[in-house]
A = this chain, B = another copy of it.
Amino acid sequence: MTEAPSRSTRRQLLSRIGMVAGTAAMYQAMTRLGHAAGSDFTSPPNLSGGKGQSVVILGAGLAGMLAAYELRKAGYKVQILEYQNRSGGRNFTLRGGDRYTELGGGVIDVKFAAGNYVNPGPWRLPYHHHAILHYCREFGVALEPFQQFNMNTWLHSSTTFGGKPQRYRDYMSDFTGYTAELLSKAINQGKLDDPAGKEEREILLEAMRDWGALDRDYRYVKGLHASNRRGFDHEPGGGPDGAPTPSTPFSRDDVMKSGLWAWMAFHMNYEMQPTMFQPVGGMDMIGRGFARQVGDLVTHQAKVSKIAQDDHGVTVSWTDMAHGGATRTTKADFCVCTIPLSILTQMEVEVSDAMLAAIAAVPYASSVKLGLEFKRRFWEEDEAIYGGISFTDQGISQISYPSHGYFSKGPAVLLGGYMFGPAAYDFAGMTPEERVKHGLQQGAALHPQYLKEFSNGVGWAWSRVPWIEGCCGTWSEQARRDHYKTLTTMDRRIVLAGEHASYVGCWQEGALLSSISAVEQLHKRAQGAG
């Protein structure tokens, strides 16, 4: 750098970098607010010695259906009340012919070709989400690999590299190379007081050279060595003219300034690590698997308005929307309530003041997903991208390519955007058609083929979904300290469950783990209650 940039230019730059990193951070915010994404599941709950009491379960999402499954097995008399006309909750999938009206009156009209789909809610299963993998096995839900990590996808910063997207592998090679080169330099200049020992310095230099693809002098330079990571200008071939020519690394300045390192960090996250899975045919295959077990217990279109309890039991008041809006009450010995807190706050619930405060303490994140159908898999055919995710600093944040139907002809659907935070509010403020239009415009910066190959699309804004009005519960660390124990501890005859009642928030695994805790608490109470 020949001239130091002015102070304000530097501030601008750092703020832009903060934005890229922020987008990456936002993406994980759901699981990062004082909690995590593993799973302590080891085996299904042991509910032996039950006395056959009755339980009303509110909500036929995964948490509610699992509670029903385990409680009925243990001899309880179970029924489920569900607001929607389908079971599964956020576990669902959009296919051609589906039609939903969102809050504000926008209509989601899905026109995908037969067999194509997008998952507006959960879309992948980490290898360490033992509970959901266990029940998929138990309920015969077929799984296939979800290609989370693909080194041939794009990283796009609108202000670096001339706004041109770059291959993940190129960027990763250069970031790794320059980092290793700098640390080697620090060690070789002998100025660093740590590591102190000659032995460790030698080992570190060896490590940096190998890991960073450095040359003998610990430099990261253009050549076949670096190209064996980032690819070649002329790729190797066969016959007399087969010799490859190396590609040229980016400048260190661009690599670091771009802030794209945030997306390298992203892939190291516990919940984003390979191997991941998805159900064959769409995420709702899991919901259907659960519904095969307990579907007979579900009353659909039951809009709960009040949950009361006394020494003798629980009384739930609800509107029977399937039968002219008749008002009904259901009585049971106990209640498992999986209604999202965003909705529960709008009901009358007879629990302790502390529990009411806990219910009100967890805001729900906004999130938007775009599903775009194109006439052909140009990302595979033109760009050799098979699954995985491209990232951009634009609102859409990412483009994820389907992990199924590889190499097939005909139309295919990709995830054209997945937004949290400000971008989610922006997109939720648009009509469904506008969301698709903006998604197309932004995505075209990564894939010029977008405009020519586009067929149709959907834009799903969770904040406009009537039965949840948000995506999932986002605990602050403070709220977690003040309210989590209360929220998750059974309140006389009522116990809550759902991803919000877990440390694996915003994941289906959290819903299942909370449900197991809930039925274990309920069972203990039921045995004590005699």
Interface residues of A (CB under 8 A from B): 1, 4-5, 10, 13-14, 17-18, 21, 24, 32, 34-41, 127-128, 130, 133, 136-137, 143-145, 147, 149-152, 169, 172-173, 175-176, 179-180, 182-183, 185-186, 189, 191-200, 202-204, 206-208, 210-211, 213, 224, 227-232, 234-244, 253, 256-257, 259, 261-262, 264-265, 268-271, 273-275, 277, 384-388, 403, 406-407, 484-485, 488-489, 497, 501-504, 510-518, 520-521
Closest approach, in angstroms, between the C-beta of A428 and any C-beta of chain B? 28
The answer to whether B128 touches A384 (Cβ under 8 A) is yes
CA of A271 to CA of B265, assembled, Å: 22
Question: A193 touches which one: B189, B268, B485 (CB < 8 A)?
Answer: B189
* B512 lies within 8 A of A238 (CB): yes
8 Å CB contact of A274 from B150, B259, B485: B150
Contact indicator A130/B384 (Cβ below 8 Å): yes
CA distance A360 to B152 in the complex (A): 38
**Residues of chain B contacted by A151 (CB below 8 angstroms):** 273-274
> A4-B197, A137-B407, A236-B502 provided; 20 other pairs, C-beta below 8 A?
A4-B198, A14-B202, A21-B210, A34-B224, A36-B235, A38-B244, A39-B237, A128-B152, A145-B147, A151-B274, A175-B211, A179-B179, A183-B183, A189-B193, A231-B270, A237-B504, A240-B488, A242-B488, A242-B504, A275-B386
Asked if residues A237 and B502 are in contact (CB atoms below 8 Å), the reply is yes
25 contacts between A and B (CB under 8 A): A13-B203, A14-B203, A36-B227, A36-B232, A40-B236, A127-B152, A127-B384, A130-B384, A145-B403, A147-B275, A179-B180, A189-B191, A203-B256, A210-B265, A228-B271, A236-B502, A237-B517, A238-B514, A239-B514, A239-B518, A239-B521, A242-B484, A242-B488, A242-B503, A242-B513
Check B275 against A388 for contact (C-beta < 8 Å): yes
Chain B residue contacts of A387, Cβ below 8 A: 145, 275
State the Cβ distance, A230 to closest chain B Cβ, in Å: 8
Contact B35 A173 (CB under 8 A): no
Q: How far is the CB of A46 from chain B (nearest CB, A)?
A: 15
Complex Cα gap A208–B37 (Å) = 23
Q: Which of B40, B244, B385, B514 contacts A503 (CB 8 A)?
A: B244
CA distance A519 to B208 in the complex (A): 44
Nearest B residue to A178 via CB reads B204
* Chain B min CB distance to A269 (Å): 6
* A27 vs B203: C-alpha distance when bound (angstroms): 21
CB nearest to A243 among chain B residues: B503
Find the residue from A145, A242, A262, A270 having the highest chain B CB count within 10 A. A242
In the complex, what residues of B have CB within 8 A of residue A231's CB? Answer: 38, 128, 270
Q: Cβ of A40 and Cβ of B235 under 8 Å apart?
A: yes
Judge whether B194 and A192 touch: CB under 8 Å.
no
- Complex CA distance for A130 and B169, rounded to whole angstroms: 17
Determine if B5 and A199 form an interchain contact, defined as CB atoms under 8 angstroms apart.
yes
Per the bound structure, the CA–CA distance linking A10 and B197 in Å amounts to 11
**Do the beta carbons of B152 and A273 come within 8 Å of each other?**
yes
B186 touches A239 (CB 8 A): no
Q: How far is the CA of A484 from the CA of B147 in the complex (A)?
A: 38
Partner of A242, one of B4, B40, B179, B200: B40
Instruction: List 3 tightest A-B contacts by C-beta distance, closest first.
Output: A239-B517, A238-B513, A238-B514
